[in-house]
A = this chain, B = another copy of it.
Amino acid sequence: MSFLERSAAVYPDRAACIYNGAVTTYGSLHERVRRHAAALQSVGVRAGDRVAYLVPNLPAMLEANFAPMGIGAVLVALNIRLSSREIAYILNHSGSKVLVFDSELADTVRQLRGECPGIETYVQVRDTVPLADDIAGPEYEQWLAAVEPLAVLPGPASENDTTTINYTSGTTGMPKGVEYTPRGAYLNAIGEAMEIGLNWRSVYLWTLPMFHANGWCFPWAVTAVGGTHVCLRRVDPAEVYRLIREESVSHLCAAPTVLTGLYSAPEAATADLTGLTIMTAGAPPAPQVIRTIEGMGAEIIHVYGLTETYGPCTVAAPQPEWDQMSSEDLARVKARQGVPYMVYGVGLRVVDEDMQDVPRDAETMGEVVMRAMP
């Protein structure tokens, strides 16, 4: 929260968000978030209430990472690929009062509407398709325009409050809600910024869904340094390459399968990724993926984490001797995991199947964490 306020004060005219060529400055983003917070209040949202968003990586979803928090409410970012049954479960389980959704997903909302009596207000975001007239409720931009922006965003009352709830993917049963606190979100955001090397000149492309472990805290990390968010509805390789080139993207996060999709696309033949740093996690990247992407000029940072750990929290930390390695050897060592982030010091315990501590060094931790991955 305070990250956004700082960047609005320090970089009021710098691009905070770019989507389809439209630029929102930090000053304007701050104003929109204050409007968004007022709009939430106008439909009865109070501190502690849960607010759900079924929206891809559009500017509205970025704004949702700040507006509920600004009034002490709780963000629930929904995985847009879940079934309506799963989404209904999460809405009810989280006790959400508001559902903001992308009009492309109106069908899903139609299917779950009858099962979610707790949702008092539906808000539609119009981007690619017209509004669904049969679902009552305001359109997002009109909802924001109808209120005066709050002058001050009080934020959560305590650093240990719940500020977002992130549901796991449900691979082992129904999705489970993981509560993030402002303290944890702050620390992991700083941690991501340090590991990937963000600064105020950074341009971050949103290839990672913001609903995956809160976008690994990058909504806050990029904002903290005053960098630029480049929003992206869906990961289409041609569009990704175009944005990297035209918006001078310096950083992105992506699962290894997304990277495979990128280098397998026809555009890869002529793409130059020099100056791009890519954080990858979600599954262990094959050395082949790392070698190919780095061969195109990008640098890969391989990290590991869970929804339960605010996203990635361990990293295949580069070592001095890597500088002398062949690209084959480098890809092989980079494919392994990992040590705790700088911000976590040694605040990480690695245990084997019997909950016995495993000695902590870069070698064994790598093996253990890899073994523990689903």
The 8 Å CB contact of A317, one of B2, B10, B193, B360, is B10
Give the size of the chain A interface in residues (CB under 8 angstroms).
35
Q: Which residues of B contact A190 (CB under 8 A)?
A: 190, 194, 343
The answer to whether A342 and B11 touch across the interface, beta carbons within 8 angstroms, is no
Identify which of residues 321-354 in chain A touch chain B, using a CB-to-CB cut-off of 8 Å: 339-340, 342-347
A3 lies within 8 A of B345 (CB): yes
Structural contact, A340 and B6, CB atoms closer than 8 A: yes
A319 touches B11 (CB 8 A): yes
With an 8 A cutoff between CB atoms, is A5 at the interface? yes
Does residue A14 face the partner (Cβ distance < 8 Å to B)? yes
For A3, list chain B residues within 8 Å (CB). Answer: 342, 345
A5 CB contact (under 8 Å) in B5, B197, B346: B346
A194-B190, A194-B193, A194-B194 known; A6-B318 Cβ under 8 A? no
CA distance in complex: A361, B30 (Å)? 14
A290 → chain B closest CB, angstroms:
19
Is the CB of A373 closer than 8 A to any CB of chain B? no
Q: Does A224 contact B (CB under 8 A)?
A: yes
CB-based nearest B residue for A360 = B9
Partner of A9, one of B13, B343, B361: B361
Q: Can you name 20 A-B residue pairings with CB atoms under 8 Å? A: A1-B345, A2-B344, A2-B346, A2-B347, A3-B345, A5-B345, A6-B340, A6-B345, A9-B339, A9-B346, A9-B360, A10-B317, A10-B339, A10-B362, A11-B320, A13-B320, A190-B194, A193-B194, A194-B225, A224-B345
* Interface residues, chain A, with chain B CB atoms under 8 Å away: 1-3, 5-6, 9-14, 190, 193-194, 197, 199-200, 224-226, 317-320, 339-340, 342-347, 360-362
